[in-house]
Structure 1
């Protein structure tokens, strides 16, 4: 039961009902207490969790490949009402690139999720359907700027860092107080050279936790390459982490 509801119940329980004689020795509990408590208990029972996420959080997923991560969340919650799932690709491009994109999107919409296409992570704070909204969790799994060379080349690393830098800069405008930004990322060379934590710091984010990312925690999720002739195939994850950030202004 949340604090506000508990306060209501406590206040009502502390005020006995008096009879016409003013005698309150054996006064019953005020009517409505049981109803309020039952309502609170029912709400608590309805909360569903999947790893770091819950059905009561407002969640924005960014660059979600074939939308299988968002679908995994909605399936676990039994609803997509709290989800806004986005892609940089248009719907038409997604259908060409990913064999299950269409079915995942259809199911997300059926479950009540908002699905948006053409959302650029570096400019999303100005998107018509996002700029007036705020989220408890903003999630970007395995950000990637595209295949423009070898992953360890200076130019490619720079492009990836610019993508993540722009994402953090925009995410802070869409985050609720006490909200978190999550970035899942591969570990080892050259991925460590992106320096995710430093990029977050530049936009007034502070890392609060670093936890192992395991694909199996999200049933149905399939990571995708996202570009090129093999866009619909998964890339090897290896050792990965989810980095969690909050606004450093709240510390």
Structure 2
């Protein structure tokens, strides 16, 4: 993960806060602000081990019950003071008991994309300093369902924040960080994580350190991460395959959502 120790960094949705604490140890004092979707009590009830006391001892600012979808949550922060906002391994699970899923007519694929889009838009609108690099990092897994959210493409359609590139996530950079399962006191092994980098600026020095995957190039299907196709027959066979048709449905549902979202938010 590309970091400058002088950047002012906001973390969101940080499960047990172990990432925020590990990040704090890498940065200059006072340059990290942590937040969680859960309340403090929920974190204490959910996780046997957490970093609440460690952050308090080291005077790291912390905001509980911080919902990235809610503009009022962002307005609790000092306005436009951050250089970077980080969302590690976000996921709305397809549990019928999960409020966001149970109360929505949207598919879980669209709900997850909407969560990430609102993170990017709200970070731009409320948190990122226009005089800084204006960066957002989303670290995600290179497996289903995460790889089906088109983070490199239509996630930022009509957005101020745009995809610059990506790089592998190295958990060894953050000693003590445990990647948590959603709603369970269990951490998951380090699957192939990728940090996707977004900014409202061109940031050539940052972009020079990033890569873009081959499947974004010509003769590929970016939404399926497939290709290159060696012939028209090869391409047609892919387009007629079940996977592609499923991804087309996800994509159309997302574009339909964006149409209404753009009109009401942007």
Q: TM-score, normalised by structure 2?
A: 0.65
**Distance in 1 (alpha carbons) for counterparts of 2:195 and 2:40:** 27
Q: Report which of the two has the higher share of strand.
A: 1
Matched residue, 2:41:
92
Asked whether the equivalents of residues 125 and 131 of structure 1 are also in contact (C-alpha less than 8 Å), the reply is no
Q: Secondary structure at the match of 2:42?
A: helix
**8 A contact 2:74–2:122 mirrored in 1:** no
Report the alpha carbon displacement of residue 185 of structure 1 after superposing the two structures with TM.
0.7
1:135 alignment partner, SS class:
coil
Alpha-carbon contact 1:204-1:249 (below 8 Å) kept: no
SS for the counterpart of 1:84 is strand
Which residue does 2:224 correspond to in 1? none
Displacement after TM superposition at 1:128 (Å): 4.1
Question: CA shift at 1:99, angstroms?
Answer: 1.4
Structure 2 unpaired stretches of 5+ = 97-105, 205-266
Alpha-carbon distance, 1:130 to partner: 1.3
| Residue of structure 1 equivalent to 2:123 | 171
User: Of residues 215, 230, 233 in structure 1, which corresponds to 2:171?
Assistant: 215
Alignment partner of 2:161 out of 205, 218, 232: 205
2:15 is matched with: 65
2:2 maps to which of 52, 66, 77: 52
Please identify runs of 4+ aligned residues in structure 1 that moved more than 6 A.
none
**Alpha-carbon spacing, 1:237–1:200, altered in 2? closer, same or farther (3 Å):** farther
| 2:112 is equivalent to residue 195 of structure 1 | no
* 1:55-75 Cα distance to aligned partner (Å, 9 max, x none): 311100000010000100112
Deviation (angstroms), 1:125: 5.9
Q: Distance in 2 between matches of 1:202 and 1:64?
A: 27
Match in the other structure for 2:87: 140
Q: Secondary structure at 2:167's aligned position in 1?
A: strand
Contact 1:122 1:169 in 2 (8 A): no
- SS of match in other structure, 1:61: strand
Q: How many residues align?
A: 191
Does 2:77 correspond to 1:130? Answer: yes
Taking structure 1 as the reference length, what is the TM-score of the superposition?
0.69
Match of 1:83 among 18, 32, 45: 32
Where does the alignment leave 5 or more consecutive residues of structure 1 unmatched? 1-50
